[in-house]
Chain A
C-alpha cells in the first residue's frame, strides 16, 4: 500500500474559507516537506518540518511524528492558493533523504 497517503484527493472551496489537508505515514519518518505545484507545473516549497508546527502567512503546518501524520491548514483561501499540494517524507531504511511523495490534493477555488 501507499506509504504516504494524502487526503482528500481533491477539494473545491469558496474564496475566503479555511481548509485542512492531511498526510498519513504508514511508517515513522523524521522530516516532512509540503509543496504546492502550480498550474504551470512548478513545485514551490511551502514547509520543511521536523516534529512541531510552522506558520507562514495564511499557511500553517504541523508534523506529529508520534502519530505519523502531518497537516496543512490554509486560512482565508485565495485564488493564488490553487494547484496541487504534495507532502513528502523521508522514510527510514531508504538511505539519505529519499523523499516519498503522496499522490497530492488538487485544490481549486470557486470565485
Chain B
C-alpha cells in the first residue's frame, strides 16, 4: 500500500499571484498527474510526468507550470492566479503510464 499527500489542503491567493501546489507519493510509482476539478464537474488533465524530470502537457496546461523534481514528488505552479480558476486540484499516480491511477485528497484553490 501507499499514500498520496497534497499540500496545502486549502490555498488562498490574490489575483495575479504565483502559487505552488505540492504532491508526494510513496507508492514508488513512475507516473504522476495533475487534474483540475471545477465545482460539480469531472476532472481535466493539466500535466503529467512518466518519470523523474519528464513533463507532458494535458488538455488544460495553459497558465500552469509543473516540475517533477524527483520520483516521489510532482509540483504544480499556477503562474498568475485568476478568479475563474478557483477549483480543486487533484494529484494522482500510477505504477506506469498504462495502469490504474490513485488520487490524493486534493487542494482547494480560492482566488481573491
Q: A residues within 8 Å of B by Cβ?
A: 4, 31, 33, 35, 41-43, 45, 48, 86, 88, 90, 95-99, 101-104
Instruction: Choose among B45, B90, B106, B108 the residue that contacts A98 (Cβ–Cβ < 8 A).
Output: B45
Q: Is the beta-carbon distance between B103 and A43 smaller than 8 angstroms?
A: yes
Number of chain B residues whose Cβ lies closer than 8 Å to a Cβ of chain A: 23
A104 to B43: give the CA distance in the assembly, Å.
Answer: 10
The yes or no answer to B31 lying at the interface (CB within 8 A) is yes
Which chain B residue shows the least CB distance to A37? B37
A-B pairs with the 9 shortest C-beta distances?
A101-B42, A96-B97, A48-B100, A43-B103, A101-B43, A103-B42, A97-B98, A97-B97, A41-B106
A4 to B44: give the CA distance in the assembly, Å.
Answer: 12
Which of B42, B98, B102, B103 lies at the interface centre, i.e. has the most chain A CB atoms within 10 A of its CB? B42
